[in-house]
Amino acid sequence: MLSKRVIPCLDVRNGRLTKGVKFVGNEDIGDPVESARRYYEEGADEIVFYDITASAEARGIFLDVVERVAEQIFIPFSVGGGISSVADMRAVLLAGAEKVSINSAAVKDPHLISQGADAFGSQAVVVGMDVLAVPVSPEIPSGYEIVIHGGRKRMGLDAIAWARRCQELGAGELCVNSIDADGTKDGYELKLTRAIADAVSLPVIASGGAGEPRHMLEAVTTGGASAALIASIVHYGQYSIRQCKEYMAAHGAKMRLTW
């Protein structure tokens, strides 16, 4: 059995670390490079960076931040936001990232997934899914709809159907973020996470809502996720990466403990 992963998520806006609730009210909370170094030293398994306004503002990727991070940490990290072509993927990987995360661009052009997988291998392509709970309908039979552009645009696309399509196109991993739970610290949307995990054979990262280590344990057990993405609880010093991983290991989850 593979170890479960704890992955800090660093949302970046204008080169600074930021955090909001349900994708709004973002505030500046520090330097993403310094934070990445601290989480690496605390035992994070991977780190994710998102340029949260790059797609909506139709601008390029923050390669300077990627290069600075690559000099400071020695664990895998992925980068998302503003990646809309194979050339963008190549630039991010050459800057030092191990994976690229595509979201809005993949929904608009699904073949970007297969193009990236063909060029760099499926293991380098993560598809991020921002998901909103909606009434069940013929169009959205699961009750979960894909939204893009940082939660700004609903797509009329069922999340379960999209997850399966991503796998068919060659994605190596899915990061499933519940907009309803994002930043609330009330726990992950376990029903959503489990539904995606059961629908595909890919590793699924649970994202949105972690408030304590118990929530992370629930994500990788009840939710069926391979990894738990966290932000607020470590950004604001409520818990350390080590505390989270030790709690999960003590309650039966297989974890990589490096201390």
CATH number for 96: 3.20.20.70
Q: Is 258 contained in some domain?
A: no
Q: Is 12 contained in some domain?
A: yes
**How high is the pLDDT of residue 255?**
97
**How high is the pLDDT of residue 23?**
46
Q: Is 83 contained in some domain?
A: yes
Answer yes or no: 130 catalytic: yes
Q: Is 256 contained in some domain?
A: no
Q: Is 259 contained in some domain?
A: no
Catalytic residue among 51, 130, 158, 182: 130
Place of tokens 């035992």: 43
Domain region containing 128 = 5-251
Six-digit token string for 91 = 């630039």
Mean per-residue pLDDT, 172-194? 94
Answer yes or no: 158 catalytic: no
**How high is the pLDDT of residue 32?**
85
Please write the tens of the pLDDT for every residue from 83-98.
999 999 999 999 999 9
At residue 13 the predicted structure's pLDDT band, cuts being 50, 70 and 90, is confident
Is the pLDDT at 177 greater than 90? The verdict is: yes
Please write the tens of the pLDDT for every residue from 198-235.
999 999 999 999 999 999 999 999 999 999 999 889 98
Q: Is 127 contained in some domain?
A: yes
> Exposed, middle or buried, 16 (CB in 10 Å: 0-12/13-18/19+)?
middle
Measured between its terminal Cα atoms, the distance across the chain in Å is 21
* Average pLDDT over the chain, rounded to an integer: 91
Closest CA to 116 of 140, 88, 136: 88
Lowest-pLDDT choice from 11-15, 125-129, 138-142, 170-174: 11-15
**How high is the pLDDT of residue 21?**
52
Please write the tens of the pLDDT for every residue from 22-55.
444 455 667 888 999 999 999 999 999 988 665 5
> Exposed, middle or buried, 215 (CB in 10 Å: 0-12/13-18/19+)?
buried
Catalytic residue among 11, 51, 88, 182: 11
Q: How many domains does the chain have?
A: 1
Contact 209/215 with Cβ under 8 angstroms?
A: yes
Q: Is 257 contained in some domain?
A: no
The model's pTM is 0.91
Q: Is 234 contained in some domain?
A: yes
106-111 LR contacts (CB < 8 Å, sep 24+)? 106/166, 107/146, 107/148, 107/155, 107/157, 107/162, 108/148, 109/84, 110/165, 110/166, 110/169, 111/169
Give the three-state DSSP class for 139. coil
